[in-house]
A and B are shown apart, each in its own frame.
Chain A
Amino acid sequence: AQSVSQHNHHVILSEAASLELGCNYSYGGTVNLFWYVQYPGQHLQLLLKYFSGDPLVKGIKGFEAEFIKSKFSFNLRKPSVQWSDTAEYFCAVSPNSGYSTLTFGKGTMLLVSP
């Protein structure tokens, strides 16, 4: 079975600071990778996804993530955060097969101070 580890449970940044949230997974085969965001009181929304091809993927709101296969990592980055990026961020992995399920990390709570 697959598993996901997110390095930080809480991150506090000032506006305009750069962001990098770590995510590592364990699974021996081909995977699909996701970052979801949950704004306070809201449901999960997809930020970005990796299925194949270019390991650097760009998502909404200026976020990007890089898949490094050799490190089993899929870290999320943003060059300059805004107060509105305050949210919880979840990394998720799914084996690339028919009935596969998503496994989520425990989440990273990002607080951006104005």
Chain B
Amino acid sequence: NAGVTQTPKFRVLKTGQSMTLLCAQDMNHEYMYWYRQDPGMGLRLIHYSVGEGTTAKGEVPDGYNVSRLKKQNFLLGLESAAPSQTSVYFCASRTSGGFNEQYFGPGTRLTVT
């Protein structure tokens, strides 16, 4: 069991460039989440999905899009990167039952110059 994996681990973008972050989980979890972590801000929810083909906005969705075409994958897209999107991005997943115990991936460190 690899758990939750994220690709890539590091990325540097120029302002205006686009990219997609991939999250994959092999635990057959229904729910998946994307967070960003910034110093002194904790983790803030960007978007989440409660099942294949469904997505919903979190606390800080602006500038990001997501897609959940397959149950095991959750993609986070930046269409036109901005320096304010420099952050560490974490993906998480959990079962639909239970009590919201989430399992986290190793993170992607993104720098936008």
Contacts and interface: CB of A to CB of B under 8 A. Distances in A.
Interface residues of B, number: 22
Interface stretch (A60-68, A70-78, A98-106): A98-106
B104 A44 contact: yes
Interface in A61-114: 90, 94, 96, 99-107
A9 interface: yes
B106 interface: yes
A29 to B, nearest CB: 14
A51 B107 CA distance: 27
A39 B64 CA distance: 27
Contacts of A100: 100
Give the interface SS of chain A, mostly helix, strand, loop or mixed. loop
Interface in B70-111: 90, 92, 99-107
Contact of B50 (A9, A99, A105): A99
B102 A102 contact: yes
Contacts of B101: 32, 34, 46, 49
A43 B100 contact: no
B43 A9 contact: no
Interface of B: 33, 35, 40-45, 48, 50, 58, 90, 92, 99-107
Interface of A: 9, 32, 34, 36, 42-46, 49, 51, 90, 94, 96, 99-107
